[in-house]
Amino acid sequence: MSAPSKIRRPPFLGRLSLPERNFVADALRTETVGGVLLLAAAVVALIWANTLGGSYAAVRDFHFGPAALGLDLSVQHWAANGLLALFFFVAGIELKRELVAGELRDPKAAALPVIAAICGMAMPAAVYAVVNGIGGGSLQGWAVPTATDIAFALAVLAVIGTSLPASLRAFLLTLAVVDDLFAILIIAVFFTSQINFLALGCAVVGLLIFYLLLRKGVRGWYVYVPLALVIWALMENSGVHATIAGVAMGLMLRCRRRDSEDRSPGEHIEHLVRPLSAGLAVPLFALFSAGVSVSGEAVHEVFTRPETLGVVLGLVVGKALGVFGGTWATARFTKAELNPDLKWPDVFAVATLAGIGFTVSLLIGELAFAGDPALAAEIKAAVLIGSLLAAVCAAVLLKLRNDKYRTLCADEERDEDQDGIPDIYERDKPEYHLRMAAIHEAKAAEHRRLAEVAAGRHAEDDGPA
């Protein structure tokens, strides 16, 4: 009696399922457009701050809002705590969907991106700590280089024109979602000083009402939007960072589809809110946070001061080594085989791309050095420079394999029978081969007909005058 055959595990970074591939493509398309707007906003902020710095500071620091409700905030504060709540709301929905229907629903499959994300946050923090331990700098900014900005990373991909395969894009997206979760936990645990327990308790009650309304099936934006604003305002007054309210509400939405649904409520709301987050909230945050001095002296300070140097090295070196090392070690010890169409240098290139830590890194930098505006500005400059260096390194590495990526993408997109489903997902179905045989026979018949017509014309030309 022959021994039972060993079950072969699907390869790491192998082909996505068709629904997952379509969801990832739709999500990344919006993030890519938002990333380009984010880049544009950062450039405008830098030009504005370095040419008309007085007007930039005046607009950024202008206060408005109802003071009686504790909401007389600066423009910059509204952007960081208000608009970014939309960004974290979308991040909460993404995380919920990944947990119930995406790459994180299977604990074994989830282990790899989760461990990669944890290592990708621990290593930059360690690099920052080592640099500042040796240089005698402040350890307050240890969390600044731990974040990955998916929108900025995808904008880099759009600019350099790299046809990154869907599996690598999905890995980057999942990595960024887990990264966002841990960034939220870092903000909640390490950057909350004084807590107003009455306001926090009322915010929790509001979240409970939000949850119960969802479970009762109550519909209507006119119910949820005012309630969400009240919850956000209470969280802002509680001392806990207000963006936590956004992610909490995102996690409450149902993201598992029922039989009669094309989209779950969470996916539907994410589809509506994501363009607002990527196209408005994040670029406006960048506009009022990225305006820092980029003079020669400021750049020199970035590479000589331990706090700023730790941020740069954390993003460029720590992120790449952490994500790649965590991925390789997990794959090695779980005996996961890499997709044969890809190589480990491809994973390292994506790990380098994860060093682009723009949005959340800027936010954490503001929180970490809130009492030292001058150092906070230098930290922002370090985030910009570190993210730029990571983008350049990743672009070079990805360009080296761009021809291979283009071939893989062409294979993923090919749809010869024009039924709206890529052929790669139908090759195991008998009806697909019957359909393709009919298409090839029709093409052959057309070629024969054209050959006969051409032969007839040739005979007429050679006939008697």
- Identify the three-state secondary structure at position 66: coil
CATH number at residue 260: 1.20.1530.10
Domain assignment present for 222? no
Same domain, 175 and 145: yes
Measured between alpha carbons, how far is 229 from 126 in angstroms, rounded to an integer? 38
Q: Is residue 261 part of a domain?
A: yes
Indicate whether 262 and 347 sit together in one domain.
yes
- Residue 442's domain comprises 423-462
Instruction: Note whether 429 and 395 are same-domain residues.
Output: no
State in Å, rounded, how far the first CA of the chain is from the last one: 82
Residues 427 and 340 in one domain: no
pLDDT digits (tens, 9 = 90+) for 148-175: 887 777 777 767 756 777 777 778 877 8
Give pLDDT, residue 5: 44
SS3 breakdown of the chain: % helix, strand, coil, rounded to 5? Answer: 75, 0, 25
Q: State the pTM of this model.
A: 0.78
- pLDDT tens readout for residues 74-121: 999 999 888 989 988 988 888 888 788 776 777 777 778 888 889 999
Q: Single out the residue in 371, 402, 433 at which a domain terminates.
A: 402
Residues 12-51 pLDDT 10s: 665 656 556 666 666 656 667 777 888 889 899 999 988 8
Q: How confident is the model at residue 1 (pLDDT cuts 50, 70, 90)?
A: very low
Both 356 and 436 in one domain: the answer is no
Please check whether residues 393 and 427 belong to one and the same domain.
no
Assess whether 390 and 434 both reside in one domain. no
Question: Residue 421 and residue 437: Cα distance in Å, rounded?
Answer: 17
Domain count, the chain: 2
Q: 123 and 37, same structural domain?
A: yes
> What does the block give as tokens for 426?
């139908």
Q: With CA atoms as reference, report the closest residue to 97 among 275, 211, 251, 258.
A: 251
Both 383 and 427 in one domain: the answer is: no
Shared-domain flag, residues 349 and 439: no
Are residues 103 and 165 both part of a single domain? yes
Q: Are residues 300 and 431 in the same domain?
A: no
Q: Is the dihedral of CA 380, 386, 391, 392 positive or negative?
A: positive
